[in-house]
Amino acid sequence: MQKRLGILTSGGDCPGLNTAIRAVVNHATLTYGWQVVGIPYATRGLRKRQSVVLAVHGLDLHGIDPLLCIGGTILGSINKGDTLDNIDEVLSGYKALELDALIGIGGDGSLRIFHQLQLQGNCQLIAIPKTIDNDVGLTERVVGFDTAVNTIVEAINRLTFTAASHDRVMIIEVMGRSVGHLALQAGIAGGADIILIPEIPYSIEGIYQHIAELRQRYWRRFAIIVVAEGAQIATDSLIYSQCEQINCGMGQYIAEEMRHHSNQQIDIRVSVLGHIQRGGIPSAGDRLIASAFGKAAVDLVAEEKSDLMVAWQNGEVVPIALESVLQKSPQGVDPDGFLLQTARSLGIYVGELDGNHPQGRSK
């Protein structure tokens, strides 16, 4: 029997979403002969009963498939709203559009919405994880993270030349309100000297001493600091209240603390990458994982499975119950994990372990 399959993208955009859409459309159409419709702007599209038919090669330009290399999402997305207060309308839209199943692509927040839709409505739903934060539980890879790391590493490479040329400390603020995967992995790959993440406490004295050692022992006149936007306040902070009053970002906060600590003797610059990290052409890694997830999600629909998320574990795609995923999300950096050990072994200052590993900012 021919199915009518819906697909939507929810939450913040990231590279690889269109590749996942492409995989779903191609596999569902070519293998199963189903009709696939895209739902514009996530669950808002369901509420408004909006859909657009998606077809194999529907966007081809003389045989060139743009969905492989276009960032963002052709379906549009939203990362705010009151979906949980309007679930009845969303479910009514699902029925009005005559959908037999729905594939939702989203991060931690969207996955919680998908789970509630499944619990409260009679609908078949399979989820594909995406997020540049890489904080979805029970999966080793998600759509969007690899490209974001590559983007940050490229920025670090460019800023390092300027830092070295002018004997400066360059602070690079990256995304990560509650987890530090982006900062940690990009910092290691980009050759950062200092990495500050939400999961690990640190001190301005520790930062200052590390930079001083670079100068005194190795004659390094510059340094690269990568800081997650949600990093904690320094354990020895003296001026946080002043920065809080002017609502400065974490990168600027670190800069002001360092200037205060050194009596303005260190030349410091701050670069906030912001939404640059979300854009760009998806990397080969993200294209591969998005394609694998899209194919697996369609197969789960064919098997009449529901309330599952496709996950990458031990080199293959496996289905995981959404409830189990949500119990482990958001998944932060393991303070005793291999990557942090790797960073320390490379001489990177990543904070000071004190037996406690609080999440997020602390004042």
For 259-312, the DSSP string reads: HHHHTT-S-EEEEE-GGGGG-SPPPHHHHHHHHHHHHHHHHHHHTT--SEEEEE
| Listed residue (111, 28, 104) closest to 299, CA to CA | 28
Residue 261: CB atoms within 10 A of its CB come to: 19
The whole-angstrom separation of Cα 143 and Cα 128 is 8
Task: Identify whether 88 is a catalytic site residue.
Answer: no
Q: Are 23 and 118 in contact (CB under 8 A)?
A: no
Picking from 48, 290, 258, the residue whose alpha carbon sits closest to that of residue 146 is 290
Pair of tokens at residue 320: 């995981």
Sign of CA dihedral 37, 38, 40, 46: positive
CA distance 100 to 220: 62
Pairing of strands 268-272, 101-106: unpaired
Distance CA 352, CA 339 (A): 15
What stretches of 309-362 show up as alpha helix (H) in DSSP? Answer: 322-327, 338-345
Give me the catalytic one of 108, 133, 135, 299.
133
Please count the CA atoms within 13 angstroms of the CA of 301 that sit on its side-chain side: 35
What is the CA angle 257-263-265, rounded to 5? 100
Q: Residue 333: CB partners within 8 Å, gap ≥ 6?
A: 179, 180, 181, 184, 197, 199, 200, 339, 340
DSSP strand pairing (268-272 vs 194-196):
unpaired
For 181, phi and psi rounded to 5 degrees? -60, -45
* Calpha distance 185→336 (Å, rounded): 15
Cis peptide before 129 (omega within 30 of 0): no
DSSP state of 331: -
- Report the catalytic residues: 133
